[in-house]
Structure 1
Amino acid sequence: MIYYLFLTHDQNGDGFLDGHELRQAFTDFGDEDGSKYISLEEVSEMIDHVLEEDDLNGDGLISWSEYLESQSYHHQA
């Protein structure tokens, strides 16, 4: 299931999630308050947070291994 979610948002099939793909993923899931509307400011903040926390090698992309590690970490917390 987790791999399916990653592949669904890896629109160009390169094995990484970039800022554009992350933006689409966040808008697909909607706002944290449960509404379907999410502002550009919220999306930018979320992307910055994900890249800061989960982009372990600092290349500006989220690889499958980084995604998997972040999912494991967030489910333990």
Structure 2
Amino acid sequence: MSSVTKAFVSEAALSEIVVKAIDDSVIGLLGGLGFVAVPDKEQKTLSIMASDQDLKIKLFAKLRDEGVCFSAGPD
């Protein structure tokens, strides 16, 4: 059984985490975590501001557990 990428973290610099949704099925999950649509970006780009490192770690763990991928990049 192969897995299908439904979303990926495209940025995680400083306190902002940006996720690009490929499949609409993850939009509800992201909204439930507090992600909001990014103005002036693609419709399926959502972000959240993590107030501290502990919250960022918890969000990353939840995204990982839900099958959200992480892009290979400097951040």
Higher strand share: 2
TM over 0.5: no
From the two aligned structures, give the one with the greater helix fraction. 1
Q: Structure 2-normalised TM-score? A: 0.30
TM-score normalised over the length of structure 1: 0.30
